[in-house]
Amino acid sequence: MAISDAALMMAWKEVLAMCNLKAGEQLTILTSDDSNQQIAGMARLAAADMGAVVTNLNLAPMNGEKAISRDKSGYIGKTALEHNKAALACLKASDFVIDTLQLLFSKEQEEILKTGARMLLAVEPPEIMLRMLPKPEDKARVLAGAKKLGVAKKMTVTSKAGTDFECDLGQYPVLTQYGLADEPGRWDHWPSCFVATWPTEKTANGTIVIEEGDILLPMKMYARSPVTFTVENGYVTKIDGGFDAEFLRRFMDSFDDPEAYAMAHVGWGLHTRAHWTVLGLTNPEAQLGMDARSFAGNFLFSTGPNTEAGGTRDVPCHLDIPLRNCSLSLDGEAMTKDGKVVPAEQR
């Protein structure tokens, strides 16, 4: 259902307050021609009403001729900032950036964050944003998971469908997403609620089985039949199955880069107001798929780039695949059991 301008503006004020926006701060709203104008417009009004100094920065879209999908994550890492020094300087001079263009995985995003700017990505439809409005308890769950993940040496994931995967941890930092850019240099995505990290290089091994009904992103479709990923020394070496397996192979091969098959971040969803069913109830082109990435108890694994973690794999192919019904453990301690988050008191 549609969201009123008044409701969205009030939500923006609530989120920006939790992001510690102060009067007098420089806030830039980054848009492109395909940005949701209600999101950008209500963010502008909310920030101005809170006393921020607001700048609107609109850049032309790019990569449309390279991507084989209209999805913003269909071709990542290359942005209109690459040769636009004036625009990049504006963002670097900002205290807070609201990104509706999607700079994620770009070197320019990292440059901006290194200045201490906070950055909040906002590209989901307003109705999804309001249903998954960040709350303090969401942040608390993510930080509790991050505390466990930050000291763990090994992650293991199993499922009754045949998943039997493990990797060493510790080379890369922990990724926390709880929907708030509330500290200097922090990036986050409203809406979001999960914790993840990247496997230590060459240690990811095993089998990951995608069941019928699990979700393939950025395709934004439910798997129609089982798909088996064989992972060896940090790379997907085989993708077996029927139509979905061939579809994934051809998509990844279209980038003509072996790094597309590298394992990227692995973790689990923690959002209690995100739903596995949403993808089947809304227009896939209208959303990025944050319900799928965040619903509580999923095992979210990805392939492709690791530049967000400080690595060197700068490949524009990025799969996110959230699986249901998995059991994920850190050093033998269960975080999820058969697709359900294990409460701390039951571990």
| Domain boundaries along the sequence of the chain | 5-123, 134-346
pLDDT for residue 186: 98
Strands 340-341 and 235-241: unpaired
Using one digit for the tens of pLDDT, what is the confidence trace for 120-137? 999 999 999 999 999 999
What per-residue confidence (pLDDT) applies to 346? Answer: 74
* Burial zone of 153 (CB within 10 Å; 0-12 exposed, 13-18 middle, 19+ buried): exposed
State the fold for domain 5-123: Rossmann fold (3.40.50)
Is the CB of residue 331 less than 8 Å from the CB of residue 154? yes
The DSSP-derived string for 238-287 is EEEESHHHHHHHHHHHTT--GGGGBEEEEEEE-BTT--GGGGGTS-GGG-
Phi, psi of 157 (to 5 degrees): -135, 130
Q: Which pLDDT belongs to residue 62?
A: 63
> Please, what is the angle between helix 107-114 and helix 85-92, to 10°?
40
Averaged pLDDT, 77-100: 93
| Sign of the alpha-carbon dihedral angle for 18, 23, 26, 29 | positive
**Does pLDDT of 64 surpass 70?**
no
Tell me the mean pLDDT in the region 262-267. 98
Cα separation, 68 vs 63, in Å, equals 10
Instruction: Give the predicted TM-score (pTM) of the model.
Output: 0.94
Percent of the chain residues past pLDDT 70, beyond the cut: 95
Q: Are 35 and 100 in contact (CB under 8 A)?
A: yes
